[in-house]
Amino acid sequence: MPTPDFLSALLRPELAELHAYTPVAGHFPVRLDANESPPLLSAEARAALARAAAPEDWGRYPDARVVELREAIAARCGVEPDEVLAGVGSDEVISILLTALSRPRPGADAASIVTTSPTFVMYKLSARARGMRAVEVPLDAGWDLDVAGLARAVEFARPSVVFIASPNNPTGALASADRLEAVIAKASDALVIVDEAYIDFAPRDQLALVRKHPNVAVLRTLSKIGLASLRVGWLVGDRALVAELDKVRQPYNLPVPSQRAATFALRELGGELRRAAAFIAEERERLARGLTELGLSVAPSHANFLWVGTRRPAGEVFEALAARGVLVRSFHGAGGRLAHRLRITVGLREENDRLLAEIAACA
């Protein structure tokens, strides 16, 4: 669609290089493409969530200060409510962060972020949409942080924010603790965001870094543990940072049903959500064994998905699976070492079995 001239003159030039995020449309009996949780919540939990979500008064705005939900998050994370900023998914928290921190360093014409490659695309998209530069440092051959490369990028780009997803999307790897510490030390005058979207599937978390380093904040979300429909994510960080970010947050960002259901889930459904995450972690290992037995290479994962090496080009395997009703995620468009990789979300047992049966025929 051609952009009218007057509009082209008004748009940020960076938008020309961006694409709207559009998940693959169509009907796929098995969808293992979006790192969501399969339906594991009990009927009782679903009914209780629906009751909890309903507003008392449909005509009123939500709580602008998100008091109860931030209290529930703080209790779950062992921090204080004023150390928590809640957003419409961690996506919104990322955009709030970048809006607040888009000031160019002295002598630079634009602010920068540094992150890894491959990683979650929203860091770069959100930064570019604000005219910020995004410097991506390739992960090493084992999909771990390249400390020397990141140190050089930090020195050269003088980023305002460094984003490290750990466990990382799409590779599933938890960053080595010593490497993450080394990156934080190198980026001591930037804000380092440790994105723990997948931490419920990992053997250890990194929240202690927030207390240890004043320049570290952690991102978390309810999206991967069965509550993606609510769009609730949050940042845990220094209260001075949270107070500044709160100036950028839209006052009524989180709808009443999301605030109420998320608060209920955090307070009352902890055990059930933990059991669901443990089931996914077990299924992940079973699926990994099955794929390995088929001769595919599977990177160790601490998330709710697997990073799978294919013999045939990943794009072809993706298409063949889709034609058989199984949707996964391919990154072959990026080329290089991603041309033979698929990201496969762990599903229900029968979905994983179906994936194994179909991929055996086409990978």
The binding site for ligand PMP (CB under 6 A) comprises: 35, 89-91, 120, 165, 169, 195, 197, 221, 223, 228, 233
Instruction: Give 221 or 258: the residue with its C-beta nearer to ligand PMP.
Output: 221
Whole-number Å distance between alpha carbons of 146 and 137: 8
3 state SS of 175? coil
Least distance to ligand PMP, CB of residue 339, Å: 21
Instruction: Give 111 or 164: the residue with its C-beta nearer to ligand PMP.
Output: 164
Give 351's contacts (C-beta < 8 A, 6+ positions apart).
30, 32, 38
Instruction: Give 280 or 363: the residue with its C-beta nearer to ligand PMP.
Output: 280
Least distance to ligand PMP, CB of residue 329, Å: 10
Instruction: Give 220 or 340: the residue with its C-beta nearer to ligand PMP.
Output: 220
Least distance to ligand PMP, CB of residue 166, Å: 9
Backbone angle region of 303, left / alpha / beta, with phi > 0 → left and psi within -120 to 50 → alpha: beta
How many CB atoms neighbour CB 249 within 10 A?
22
Least distance to ligand PMP, CB of residue 291, Å: 21
Least distance to ligand PMP, CB of residue 263, Å: 16
Q: Which residue is nearest to ligand PMP (CB)?
A: 89
Instruction: Give 223 or 352: the residue with its C-beta nearer to ligand PMP.
Output: 223
Provide, for the chain, the percentages of residues in helix, strand and coil under a 3-state DSSP scheme, each rounded to the nearest 5.
45, 15, 40
Tokens of 92: 């919104």
Residue 164's DSSP bridge partners are 194
Whole-number Å distance between alpha carbons of 300 and 220: 21
